[in-house]
Amino acid sequence: MRLNSLEAFLAVLLAMQLGIDSGFAVAASPAIGTIVTRGAFRMNQATLTSNATLFAGATIETGAAGSLMELASGTRLELGPESRGRFFGDHLVLERGQSKIDKSLGFRVEARGLTVLSDTGGSTGRIRLPGSARVEVSALTGSFRVLNSRGMVVAKIASGKALVLEPQQATGPTRVTGRLVKLGGHYLLTDETTNITVELTAKKNLANQIGQRLEVTGSSDGVATPVSDATELIEVAQATPAPPPATAPAGAGGSSGTGGAAGGAGGGAANGAAVSVTLIAVIAGVAAAAVVGGLAASGSLGGSAAAPVSR
Amino acid sequence: MIGARLFAAISLAAFVFAAAGTLRLAIAESLWRTGSLAAGGWPMSVGNSSYYEELAVREPALEVSALGRAVAANPRDSAAWIALGLAAERAGDTDRARYCLLQAEKVDRQYLPAWTAANFFFRQANDTEFWRAARQAAAMFYDDPAPLIDLADHRELKAVAALERLGDTPRLERGYLHFLIAEGRWQEAQEVGGRLALRRGAQDRELLLALTDRLIVAGRAEAALAIARARAGAVTNGDFRIEPSGHGFDWRMTAPPGGAAHWESGRVRFWLARSTPDACALLDQWVVLDPGGYRLRFEYRIDGLAEETGLHWTAVRHGIEEASGPVLTRAAGLAAGDRKTDWSFGVKKPGFYQLRLVYSRVPGTTHIEGRAEFASVELKNL
C-alpha cells in the first residue's frame, strides 16, 4: 500500500515535471529581441512595417528608414538606412551599411572578416562599411577592440576616436608608428593609430633609438611569444624617425602607405570619411588609418535612424 | 423664432469650424508642397496626437510622456498606442504595454495592431492571447504571410496544428506551404500540400507542382507521388492529352538545339536540324520504379531522319544510365503501319528514375534533318 502511494506520488511528480518542461520548452523560444522601425523593412526577405519579433539568424534589411533592435540581452542596436545584417543573440554580422551599438558588453559585430567588441558595458559605437572592403569603427562612448579573422587584436579604439580598417589580401609587412621604449629588457612600441603595443627585435641595436618616435616596418614572428604587454613580436626590417604627426583630408594625395586603408587616402573621398594620410598602420594583416576629425568626420546614422514609433 | 436663431447660430459655428479646418489643411499642404513642412508644418499641429508622436521621435528622453499625451489627445490613434506599448515593453512595463497594445487593437481592427499584439504576446509567452491576436492578424494579412507563419511556427511546431489555430484558409495554406518548402520540412509540406490539393484550386497547381519538384529532388518518392496523385511504375500524361508542364511527374520537353519541339493534344513532335548536336535529350519524365521488369509501349512516326534514327529511350537513375533501349528505325514507325513499339527493361534498385528519350547519332550514319513524333506512351510492370 505504501509502495503504491509512493509510486503514485512519483508519477504525479513526474507528470508535473513533464508539464513544467513542456511549458518551459514553449517559453524558451529562440526569440532574441524586438525590431522597431518607422517605415518598412525586410526580414528574411519578407516585407514588414512597424515592428516584429527578432529571431536568431534573422536577416534584416532596411530601406529609407533605419531600424531599432532591442535585444533580450539588453544590447540596443540601430541598423542604419539602406543597411543589412544578420542578427544573433550575441553578435551581428553586418553585411551592408552601418550600425550603432549601445550597451554592448558581450556583444560583437562581425564585418568583412573583422570583429568589433566593446571593452565596457556602457560602450556605444558605430560600425560603418564604406566602399567594398573597409570597416569604419567609431567609439562614441567607452572603448572598443577590433580583432582580425584569427582572433588577434588589431586595434584598440578609445572613446571619441574613429578608425578605418581594411583586411589585406596577402599578409604583408607590419607597419607601426610610435615612441620606442625599453621595459624589462624588451623593446616596445605602441602604435599611435591602432593603440596596439608590439615588441620589437632587430639585428642591429635599437638602444640608441629609445625615446624616439619611429616608423617601423617588419615582419611578424608568428611563433615566438611576445612580452605580456605586446600582442605581436615584430622583427624589424626598417626603423626610421617618423615625420611629425600631420593629417590631411582624404583625396589630398601624397600617401606613402601600403595599400588597403592606406590606399584609402587616395580613394577615401568616395567613401565620405576623411582618413589620415600619415598615420597608417598595418597590424596582423589589417591596415588601419585614423579618421581625420574623429567622430565628427565619421558620419552618423542620420536623421532617419530608427525611431520607436510605428506608422 | 428662437429655434430658428439657434439653428442659424449652430450652422454659423459649424461653418466657421469647417472653414478653419479647411484653411489649416490648405496651409499644411502648401507647406508640404514647398518642402517646408518640417520647418513650418510640424509646430502647426501642436495639440494633435501626431505632434506628440513626432516629439517622441525627436526627443527620445520624452518618448513615453509624449506618446502618453498623444493617446490622450487622440484615443483612436492606433499608431500612438502601438508606439506607446512598444516603448513600455522596452522600459519593462509589460502591464502598460499589454494595455496599450490591446487598446490599439480595440480602436483599429486592421492588420498592424493585431500583428503587433501577436508579437508582444509571443514574447510574453502568453499562448492564449498570442493565438487570439495571431488568428486575428491571419484573417487579414495583405502581403507576405511568412513572418506571421514564422511566429506561429515558433509557438506550435506542427504545421497543420498551427494552421488550424491560425484559422485554416487556402491563402494561409499556400503561405505555410511556401514557408515549409523554404525550410525543407518535407513531411509537413506533404501534409499541408495534401490539404491544398484536396481543394483542387486551379491557382494552386503551380505551387503543388513546385512542391512535387522539390520532393523529387529531396528523394521523397511516396510524398511526391501523393502530392502529384501519380502512381508508381507508371507514366503520367502518357497520352499527351494536356500540354506537358515540365514539372513534377509530367513530361519535360526540350527543343533540340537548332531544332524545335511542339505539343498538340495527343502527341509531341520534335524537329532535328543539321545544326543539332550529335547527342541531346528530347523528352524526360520522372517515374518511381520498384525492382523488376517493365515494358514501355509507345507509338512513333519518323520523317526524314536516317534509317537508324539515333532516337532511343533510356532509364536514368542519379544521372547514370541504368537501361537503354534499341535505336528506333524508320521502318518500325507509324508510317510503316506498325503503330506500337515496345521496349522491355529491368531495374534493380527502387526509387526515382528518369525515363528519357534521347537523340544520339549512330556512328556511320549521316546527320540529316527530320521530324519525330511520339504518342500513347505506356509503362507497365511485367
Instruction: Tell me the pLDDT tens digit for each residue of B210-267.
Output: 999 999 999 898 889 888 888 888 999 999 999 999 999 999 999 998 899 999 999 9
Per-residue pLDDT at B304 exceeds 90: no
Please give the residue of chain A at the shortest CA–CA distance from B149: A46
Backbone angles phi, psi at A288, to 5 degrees: -140, 140
Task: Tell me what percent of the residues of chain B surpass a pLDDT of 70.
Answer: 91
- Which tens digits make up the pLDDT trace of A207-244? 888 999 999 999 887 777 887 778 889 999 988 888 87
| Residues in contact with B219: Cβ distance below 8 Å, sequence separation at least 6, in sequence order | B351, B352
**Residues of A whose CB is below 8 A from B123:** 31, 34, 53
| Nearest to A50, CA basis, from B121, B86, B152 | B86
- Between A126-135, B213-222, B362-371, B372-381, the lowest mean confidence (pLDDT) is in B362-371
ipTM of model over 0.85: no
Per-residue pLDDT at A93 exceeds 80: yes
Please give the residue of chain B at the shortest CA–CA distance from A28: B125
d(CA A305, CA A95): 18
CB contact under 8 A, B154 and A310: no
Per-residue pLDDT at A259 exceeds 80: no
- Which tens digits make up the pLDDT trace of B158-200? 999 999 999 988 899 999 999 999 989 999 999 999 888 888 7
Q: What is the pLDDT of residue B296?
A: 95
The distance of A120 to chain B (nearest Cα, Å) reads 22
d(CA A144, CA A138): 8
More confident residue, B364 or A10: B364
Instruction: Name the segment(s) of chain A with CATH classification 2.40.50.500.
Output: 174-241
Q: What is the pLDDT of residue A200?
A: 92
C-beta of residue A301 within 8 angstroms of C-beta of residue A97: no
Nearest by CB to B83, which of A26, A44, A308? A308
Q: Which CATH architecture has domain A174-241?
A: Beta Barrel (2.40)
CB contact under 8 A, A49 and B112: yes
Q: What is the pLDDT of residue B26?
A: 72
The confidence band for A269, taking pLDDT boundaries of 50, 70 and 90, is very low
Q: What is the pLDDT of residue A194?
A: 94
pTM of the predicted protein model:
0.73
Among A6-10, B67-71, B358-362, top mean pLDDT goes to B67-71
- Report, as an integer, the average pLDDT of A137-160: 93
**Residues of B whose CB is below 8 A from A27:** 125
**Residues of B whose CB is below 8 A from A30:** 154
The confidence band for A38, taking pLDDT boundaries of 50, 70 and 90, is confident
- Which tens digits make up the pLDDT trace of A154-178? 999 999 999 999 998 767 789 999 9
- Report, as an integer, the average pLDDT of A297-307: 40
| Nearest to B173, CA basis, from B160, B186, B185 | B160
Q: How many CA atoms lie within 13 A of B214 on its CB side?
A: 19
More confident residue, B137 or B21: B137
Q: What is the pLDDT of residue A292?
A: 66
The confidence band for A83, taking pLDDT boundaries of 50, 70 and 90, is very high
Please give the residue of chain B at the shortest CA–CA distance from A53: B119
The confidence band for A95, taking pLDDT boundaries of 50, 70 and 90, is very high
More confident residue, A250 or B361: B361
Q: Residues in chain B whose beta carbon is closer than 8 A to a beta carbon of chain A?
A: 53, 56-57, 60, 63, 67, 79, 82-83, 86-87, 89-90, 112, 115-116, 119, 122-123, 125, 127, 143-144, 146-147, 150-151, 154-155
Per-residue pLDDT at A138 exceeds 70: yes
d(CA B312, CA B358): 6
Per DSSP, B39 falls in state I
CB contact under 8 A, B112 and A50: yes
What integer best gives the mean pLDDT of chain B? Answer: 87
Joined together, the cell numbers standing for residue B146 give 511568412
Q: What is the pLDDT of residue A246?
A: 59
